[in-house]
Structure 1
């Protein structure tokens, strides 16, 4: 067992992967052989990810606020505190805050054997289309 009492500093989401103001708090990234990665992601109103996918899928659990999520070819879906979203392996998608509120979610992924967790694509327009 290992208890983490001091977390890494909060990081700003990089502009190439996010639109708007996004902050990332690493919650868990245990040493091998574990490939678990867990983050608290804080989105300002209107902030969102670029299109992306994960080799083993992703679980999102909304902790506070209201947000949006969309898979490629699907409708934009509203999500709110208490909702859990499962994104299938290699499913292109984006997620972020709604236009009027902050949104925080817990994001859980499993890294691939080479350590990668995410393949990033194009930015998303306000309508949910690649810019």
Structure 2
């Protein structure tokens, strides 16, 4: 996990105010074709987990209003918000507005969703430990849940 922290600190420095005026340091990736989101989401795997580094690192970029379905990360996930304004909500808790420069810690086994605000793009770098399995996808976020 120390290597992951070093990567996060590096990315945090690069995503400061001066970097915000430049193009993203990572490619936007390909439009996701999986059925676990609403709206347009681009994904780019930056580093896959292997026998030494048991976490994956990826970027996700959301068009305004795009959002992931409710889901669980068995071993948790850390999101470094690199662009725009979005939402993060855990089941049973109020929705939070999150913005560039914030770090979100998705606790292991906690049902949640995240996505872009209605009028903003939204992007993050995610590090996800895979030691306890991959993401478990659940139901769609309803329009009411998104608006609340």
What is the TM-score when the length of structure 1 is the normalising length?
Answer: 0.85
Residues in 2 aligned to 1:92 and 1:27: alpha-carbon distance in whole angstroms: 25
Whose strand proportion is higher, 1 or 2?
1
Residues in 2 aligned to 1:92 and 1:99: alpha-carbon distance in whole angstroms: 22
Whose helix proportion is higher, 1 or 2?
2
1:55 aligns with 2:84: no
Identify if the C-alpha distance between structure 1 residues 127 and 9 changes in structure 2 by more than 3 Å, giving closer, same or farther: closer
1:71 aligns with 2:81: no
Give the number of aligned pairs.
Answer: 121
Residues in 2 aligned to 1:122 and 1:102: alpha-carbon distance in whole angstroms: 23
Tell me, yes or no, if the aligned pair for 2:86 and 2:98 is still in contact at 8 Å: yes
Q: C-alpha offsets along residues 24-82 of structure 1, whole Å, 9 cap, x if unaligned?
A: 01111142132211111000000000000111111011101000010000101000000
Residues in 1 aligned to 2:27 and 2:126: alpha-carbon distance in whole angstroms: 16
C-alpha RMSD of the superposition: 2.0
Q: C-alpha offsets along residues 8-31 of structure 1, whole Å, 9 cap, x if unaligned?
A: 992322341110000001111142
Q: Which runs of 5+ in 2 are unaligned?
A: 1-25
Q: Which residue of 2 aligns with 1:80?
A: 99
Q: Which runs of 5+ in 1 are unaligned?
A: 1-6
Q: Which residue of 1 aligns with 2:135?
A: 118
Tell me, yes or no, if the aligned pair for 1:8 and 1:26 is still in contact at 8 Å: no
Once superposed, which parts of structure 1, at least 4 consecutive aligned residues long, lie more than 4 Å away?
none
What is the TM-score when the length of structure 2 is the normalising length?
Answer: 0.75
Residues in 2 aligned to 1:112 and 1:128: alpha-carbon distance in whole angstroms: 31
